[in-house]
Amino acid sequence: MKITKFQVITLILFVIFLVAGVAAFAMYKGGSSSATIPAVTFWGTFPADTFNNYVAKVNATLPQPITVRYVQKSPATFSQEFIAALARGQGPDGLLIPADMLLPHYDKLAAIPFTALPQRTFIDSFVEEGTIYLNSAGIIAIPFTVDPLVMYWNRDMFNAAGIAAYPKYWDEFAVLNAKLTAKDQNGNIRRSTVALGDFTNISNAREILASLIMQVGNPITRTDKDGYIQSTLKTSRGVDPTPAIDFFTQFVDPASPNYSWNRGMPASKSAFLAGSLATYFGFASELKDIQSKNPNLNFDVAPLPQVRTGGIKAGYAKMNAFSIVRSSANANAVFQVISYLTDPTVMSELNTTLYLPTVRRDVIAQGSNDPYITIFNEAALTAKTWLDADPVKSRDIFGNMIADITSGAKSRYQAIQDAGDEYDIILRQALQ
């Protein structure tokens, strides 16, 4: 393969940054309690009140408190503000952002070398989803929170239909549909088993479809032989996502025996809260909201259903993680601060405050007596995500693909291929 002048320059810059990063982190000796760590600034989309309260609790455990200035930014304007601040030389020292917002800023972040945090230590410490932050140079981010997709199910509806157990596998919904979905004499759906097949009125549709695709073994994006991120939606690039897409779309097909949803129905979360939807796929963080909006709703929580055979146990999860900004003059201090904030002895306090599972395997291993946290922790262990260019744009691409298939505007094959091509474009643009 011919190497261009641009590639040579890029390689030289990469080596320079890598050497500089290693030199910066080489000074870290474990964080002496007698040394004062310089103040550092983080930008992120994580709630400021929650973060600042957590830092105060961490400081209560330290002999020498850390000083962290945290600035919360809107996800819609974060990238623009971050890039503008870097151009002015006024960027933050570190970031706390979701995994699906990280890719466009890869070149602006310093990888933590494995000499500072060994790869084996990282893998053993954090849930599987955290491995998305590993690359050949080191660790691009350290996990902080995880919020997995789970299944909420209406106990009253299941009990009334004589169904004793919630579904563990997707193929069980065919039987459930026959018992739980109710239609009037004109064929209009009055009560539904499951909300799948559309993006207009299904909460978390992008994440649900992504979970199905990942469960059949397709990672959604991958790194090619030249180091570029590309879409794997196209059938020529790995495991065919078609079975997952077929399953998702059958529930809005009036000709399908599993027809249980359409665009004329209310938003899926609203339907679940009203007691007219038997199952709802939402995040662990939605539990308190569901409880508060309908205290009389008799529901429970279960893991996201899985493919019965031949797949990978997986489910989408939101993950926030700490990264070090490459231009920071305080890289070593940022690393020490992150180490304190992700220490297992204090992270259990964060999980209690947020009522979410932990990102740390050692904390999960301690177990929990809480019936919901037990389910959330199980989901966190098999949680996955992918390197995304822009979650809003990828949602649009996925949604358009599904609409093209269900409306008949394109063949299933053509819709999937076109979505893969469109996704490749925004992935390339994210790294320019």
Q: How far apart are CA 254 and CA 417, in angstroms?
A: 25
Are the C-beta atoms of residues 183 and 190 closer than 8 Å to each other? yes
- Residue 198: name the closest of 422, 400, 388, 420 by CA: 400
Q: Which residues of 297-306 are buried (b: 16+ CB within 10 A; e: fewer)?
A: bebebbbbbb
Enter the tokens of residue 299.
Answer: 């529901």
Q: How far apart are CA 208 and CA 201, in angstroms?
A: 13
Are the C-beta atoms of residues 300 and 153 closer than 8 Å to each other? yes
Domains and CATH numbers, the chain: 32-147+317-384 (3.40.190.10), 149-316+389-430 (3.40.190.10)
Give the strand pairing for 315-325 and 109-110. Answer: antiparallel
What is the model's pTM?
0.91
Task: Give the burial class of 67: count Cβ atoms within 10 A of its Cβ; 0-12 exposed, 13-18 middle, 19 or more buried.
Answer: middle
Tens of pLDDT along the chain (432 residues) come to 444 443 443 444 444 444 444 444 543 444 444 468 999 999 999 999 999 999 999 999 999 999 999 999 999 999 999 999 999 999 999 999 999 999 999 999 999 999 999 999 999 999 999 999 999 899 999 999 999 999 999 999 999 999 999 999 999 999 999 999 999 988 889 999 999 999 999 999 999 999 999 999 999 999 888 878 999 998 888 899 999 999 999 999 999 999 999 999 999 999 999 999 999 999 999 999 999 999 999 999 999 999 999 899 999 999 999 999 999 999 999 999 999 999 998 988 888 889 999 999 999 999 999 999 999 999 999 999 999 999 999 999 999 999 999 999 999 999 999 999 999 999 998 877
Are the C-beta atoms of residues 150 and 304 closer than 8 Å to each other? yes
Query: What is the rounded (10 degree) CA torsion for 71, 133, 79, 66?
Result: 20
Enter the tokens of residue 86.
Answer: 């870097």
DSSP string, 362-378: HHHTT--S-HHHHHHHH
